[in-house]
């Protein structure tokens, strides 16, 4: 397993936000993280990235107990796009590449996989929301990570942007990477995910294959059935 979280608990302020999160990500697969607003999806991703230590439970990455050094094999975009608006996409990537010590070849590979080669010389501040989202993902890809984590990548995108993210996620999978992304866009989860984890009120209500979650292909009906039952 690339990710194996078992019975993770975590408070934020006085609230017990996570109260039993189980999450698995298999090699080379795409996992969609679902759940209502405030269910704990972002908190779960933050625990995985070591931004918030778990109070209890176990977090394993790449088959071993979590360590900070294992994050070298993870690329993440969890806090929205962050880059220098006055620099081109290419220069932004070059700055990040030198920070993490990878060569110019990594910049070209990240531009290609994020679908930004044609606009690489444009200043980032002129980018649409969709292009910004792909630039953030390109930055996450620089270190050639085995696991890519995206927090609500479709957020605020128009239909074309949503389609570009779908194609990007598929390219990531075809290049052998595992992808974990949170989303409220059920149609996109249905279109790209192999597996689904659904968190409701801080607990995992379902974790397994997409086809097991929605055997008849109706992800919306399955989502409401699982979230209603878990809120019980």
Ligand X SMILES: Nc1ncnc2c1ncn2[C@@H]1O[C@H](COP(=O)(O)OP(=O)(O)OP(=O)(O)O)[C@@H](O)[C@H]1O
User: 79-85, long-range: CB within 8 Å, 24+ apart, which pairs?
Assistant: 79/151, 80/136, 81/132, 81/133, 81/135, 81/136, 82/136, 83/124, 83/132, 83/135, 83/136, 83/139, 84/124, 85/123, 85/124, 85/125
- 14 versus 68: smaller Cβ distance to ligand X: 14
Please tell me the number of Cα atoms within 13 Å of 50 on its side-chain side: 13
What are the backbone angles phi and psi of residue 199, rounded to the nearest 5°?
Answer: -105, 130
> In the numeric block, which tokens belong to residue 97?
């590449």
Residue nearer to ligand X on the CB measure, 83 or 181: 181
Cα 160 to chain centroid distance, Å, stands at 19
Q: Which is nearer to ligand X, 92 or 197 (CB)?
A: 197
Report the C-alpha gap between 155 and 192 in whole angstroms. 16
Query: 39 or 110, CB closer to ligand X?
Result: 39
Q: How far is the CB of 35 from ligand X (least distance, A)?
A: 5
Nearer to ligand X, 93 or 165 (CB): 165
Contact residues toward ligand X (CB under 6 A) are 12-13, 15, 17, 35, 37-43
Structure tokens at 106: 């990594």
**Token representation of residue 105:** 């070849």
Shortest distance, position 142 Cβ to ligand X, whole Å: 25
- Nearest distance from residue 108's CB to ligand X, in Å? 33
- Closest contact distance (angstroms) between CB of 84 and ligand X is 26
Q: CB of 169: closest distance to ligand X in angstroms?
A: 19
């Amino acid at each position: 397993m690339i990710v194996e979280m078992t019975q993770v608990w975590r408070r934020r302020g006085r609230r017990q936000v996570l109260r039993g999160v189980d999450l698995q990500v298999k090699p080379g697969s795409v996992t969609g993280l679902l759940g209502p607003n405030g269910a704990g999806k972002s908190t779960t991703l933050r625990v995985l990235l070591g931004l918030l230590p778990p109070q209890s439970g176990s977090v394993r990455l790449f088959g071993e107990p979590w360590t900070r050094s294992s994050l070298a094999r993870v690329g993440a975009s969890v806090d929205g796009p962050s880059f220098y608006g006055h620099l081109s996409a290419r220069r932004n990537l070059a700055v990040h590449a030198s920070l993490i010590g990878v060569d110019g070849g990594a910049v070209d590979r990240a531009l290609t996989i994020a679908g930004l080669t044609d606009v690489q010389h444009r200043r980032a501040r002129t980018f649409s929301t969709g292009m910004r989202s792909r630039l953030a993902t390109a930055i996450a890809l620089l270190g050639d990570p085995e696991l890519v984590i995206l927090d609500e990548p479709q957020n605020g995108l128009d239909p074309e942007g949503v389609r570009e993210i779908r194609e990007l996620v598929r390219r990531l999978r075809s290049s052998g990477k595992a992808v974990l992304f949170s989303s409220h866009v059920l149609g996109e989860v249905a279109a790209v995910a192999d597996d689904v984890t659904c968190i409701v009120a801080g607990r995992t209500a379902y974790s397994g294959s997409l086809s097991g979650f929605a055997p008849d292909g109706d992800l919306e009906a399955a989502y409401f059935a699982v979230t209603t039952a878990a809120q019980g």
